[in-house]
Chains A and B, each alone.
Chain A
Amino acid sequence: MKTRVLGAVAALLMAAAPAIAEYPEKAIQGIIQWGAGGSTDVVMRSITPHAEKLLGGSVVMQNMTGGVGAIALKYVGAQAADGYTLLMGAENPQLYKVMGLGDSDYSDFIPINLIARGVPLLVARPDAPYNSFAELVAYVTAHPNEVKFGSTGPGGLPSVITAMLTSEVALPVIAVPYDGDGPALTALQGGAIDVMPAVLGLAIEGIRAGRLKAIALVDTTPNAALPGLAPIAEAYPAYAKYLPWGPFFGVFVKNGTPDAVVAKLQAAFGEATQNPEFMAMIEGRGFSMLNLSGDDARAFLTNWQKTTAWLVFDAGAAKFSPADFGIERP
C-alpha cells in the first residue's frame, strides 16, 4: 500500500519534473576516495560546503576506501553520467594501469576542478648524521643497505620520489613499507625508520618542533613555509625535468555527463577554491593551489601521468610498461 502511495507521489513528481528540472534537483553524492581524517578527506569536506552554496543543492559525502582508491573509482564509473555522483579523489588512479590495478584512470572522467598540489620533501630523524641531500647520498654510499627509507607501497608518493632520486644517483637503502604517510612519519619520530619522502603539509609541524629534520625540498623553488631549505633542483639540476611534481586532489564526474551540468559544477567548485577561508586552510597545510579545470586540467593530468608512470616503470616498481597503454615517454 505504502509503495503504491509513494509510486503515485513519484509519478506526480516526474510529471512535474520539466518545471523544476534545473540541476541539481536532488542530493548529489560525493565519493571520497580515501578515509576519514586523511588529506583528501579534509580538503573535500572543507571545500564542498562552499560549493554547495553556489550550486544551490546539497552534496552528501561518503568515504569509500580500499584498493588504493580503485574501489571508489570503479563505483563512480558504474553510476549514471548525470552529475549526481562526484568522485573526490587524489592522484593515485593515474598509476592504476601500470600498477596492474585495473584498466581505468582519470581519462574516463571529466575533471571538475583540480584543487591543489602537495609539495614533496625529504625528512629525516633529527639525530641523523646528514643535513642535506648531498650528505645523505654520501652517507648512504658509505653505508649501503643500512639507512631505512619509509615507503607507502608501490605508486605512493615515497615510491615515486625514491624512483625520481634513484634515476640520477644510486641509493642503496632499505624501503620499509607503511600503510600511509601518517603512520610512517610517526615511525620516523620513534626512530623505526631514518628517512621519509613526505608532503610538506604533513611534516611541517614536526619540523617546526625539531622532531623531524627537513633535508631536501623536492621542488624547483623555495617554499615560504620552510625558508632556508634549498630546493633540490639547485644542487642537482638533473631533477628539474621532473619538477614541479606532487600529489594532487580533484573532483571528477564520469565522461558523458551533460555539458550544462559540468559547466555548473566547474563554476561552483572553481569559485569555491577562491574562498578566503579555504585558501587559508590549503596554505596552512602547505599545499599549492592549482584550481585547474577544462583543458588545463586535462593537460596537467596527462603530463603528470607521463612523468610519473615512466619514473616508476624505469625504477622497476611498475607491473606493466606505460607504453602498453599508449602513455608516451616525456
Chain B
Amino acid sequence: MHDKTRRLPGEAAFSLALVVLSLWLTTVAFEISGFEALSAPGSFPMAVTAVMVITSGLIFWRTARLPAAGHIRDWREILPLRVVGMTVMIGLYAAALQPVGFVPTSFLFLTVSIWMLGRTSPFYALGISALSVAGIYIVFRLIFTVLMPEGVVPEREIIAWVQSLFAGAPK
C-alpha cells in the first residue's frame, strides 16, 4: 500500500525521528566502552549504530525530496481514529493487567473492543468474550501452568479449593 514515489503525511517527520534516534543511540553505544579494543563490548553496538545513522540519514534525504502524496491530505487516512482508539485500549489493558488481574481485564477488554468495533449487540460481545477468556485461561493457566497476574481474583485459592473438592478430603 506504500507508494515509494510519494511522501505520505508524517513520513518526513518519522524518518527524521529515526535519524535523531540513531544519533542518540550512537552516543550511548560510544559510552559503553569507547574505542577500547576490537573485542570490547561496545564495538559491535558502535558499528551497528553507525550503519543506522548512515542509512537513516540517506532515507531522510530521499524522503524529504519526494513530492507529497496529493490524494492523501487527511491524517485520518494514515492514522484512523480506530487505530488510535485500539492502541489506547491495549495500553490501558496492559496497565491494568497486573493490579486488576488477567481474567477481569481481558474480559472487559474483549467485550468493549468487540462491541465498539463491530457495533454489535453487547450480549454477542459478552458471549464471545466469556468463551475466549475461558479458552485462553484453560490453555495457558491450567494446561501450561503459566501464572497470569491474579490481581483482585484469588485464583490459586479457588483452584486449590476446587481441587480439594475433587480430592474429597478437607485439607
Contacts and interface: CB of A to CB of B under 8 A. Distances in A.
Contact present between A and B (CB < 8 A): yes
Interface of A: 1-3, 6-7, 9-10, 13-14, 17, 20, 22, 25-27, 29, 56-57, 60, 62, 84
A309 to B, nearest CB: 23
Contacts, number: 52
B103 A6 contact: yes
Contact of B147 (A9, A25, A56, A62): A62
Contacts of B153: 3, 6-7, 10
Interface string B126-149: 100010000000000000011100
Nearest to A56: B171
Contacts of B66: none
A156 to B, nearest CB: 16
Contacts of A6: 103-104, 153, 158
A310 B145 CA distance: 42
B67 interface: no
B154 A13 contact: yes
A22 B171 CA distance: 8
A178 to B, nearest CB: 13
A13 B152 CA distance: 13
B74 interface: no
Contacts of B107: 2-3
Nearest to A28: B156
Given A13-B154, A62-B147, A3 B159 contact: no
Contacts of B160: 25-27, 57
B44 interface: no
Contact of B130 (A2, A20, A22, A26): A2
Contacts of B103: 2-3, 6
Contacts of B126: 1
A6 B171 CA distance: 22
Given A20-B171, A60-B145, A62-B147, A25 B104 contact: no
A26 B152 CA distance: 15
Contacts of B161: 13, 20
Contact of A29 (B147, B157, B170, B171): B147
Contacts of B171: 20, 22, 25, 56
Given A13-B157, A17-B157, 10 more contacts: A2-B103, A2-B130, A3-B107, A10-B157, A10-B158, A14-B154, A25-B160, A26-B160, A56-B171, A57-B160
A84 B157 CA distance: 12
A2 B108 CA distance: 10
A29 B130 CA distance: 27
Nearest to B107: A2
Q: Could you say which of B103, B146, B154 has the most chain A C-beta atoms within 10 Å of its C-beta?
A: B154
A2 B104 contact: yes
A7 B152 contact: yes
A26 B171 CA distance: 11
Contacts of B104: 2-3, 6
Contacts of A13: 154, 157-158, 161
A9 B145 contact: no
A133 B130 CA distance: 67
Given A2-B107, A6-B103, A26 B156 contact: yes
A3 B107 CA distance: 9
- In the A-B complex, the 9 residue pairs with the smallest Cβ-Cβ separation, listed nearest first, are A26-B156, A3-B104, A26-B160, A60-B145, A27-B156, A10-B154, A26-B157, A6-B153, A13-B157
Contact of A25 (B130, B145, B157): B157
Interface string B47-61: 000000000000000
A29 B104 CA distance: 22
A27 B107 CA distance: 24
A66 to B, nearest CB: 16
Nearest to A11: B154
Contacts of A62: 146-147
A56 B156 CA distance: 15
A56 B167 CA distance: 12
A22 B154 CA distance: 16
